Amino acid sequence: MDREYDLFEKLPNGSIIWRALVSGRDNAIRKLRKLASQSSNEFLAVHKPSQEVIARLNTRKAASR
């Protein structure tokens, strides 16, 4: 059984917005890459029950602002 991952976007003001719930690690990373390609904001994929962050994208872009 695949884990489910919540995808979040971190805005420049520090707010976090939920973007999607995706089943499976590979699917979560694929969807996260697609979202991150459309914005310079930071994006995270999180397995909420364990609070494990499996991917974080656009971290340099977000840090440079």
Confidence of residue 60 (pLDDT cuts 50, 70, 90): confident
pLDDT of residue 1: 76
Map out the domains of the chain as residue ranges: 4-50
| Spatial separation of the C-alpha atoms in residues 13 and 3, rounded to whole Å | 30
Reported as a single tens digit per residue, the pLDDT across 27-36 is 999 999 999 9
Confidence of residue 64 (pLDDT cuts 50, 70, 90): low
| Spatial separation of the C-alpha atoms in residues 57 and 59, rounded to whole Å | 5
Arithmetic mean of pLDDT over the chain? 92
Q: pTM of the prediction?
A: 0.88
Residue that is written with structure tokens 């602002």 in the block: 65
In this structure, the chain runs to a length of 65
pLDDT of residue 51: 95
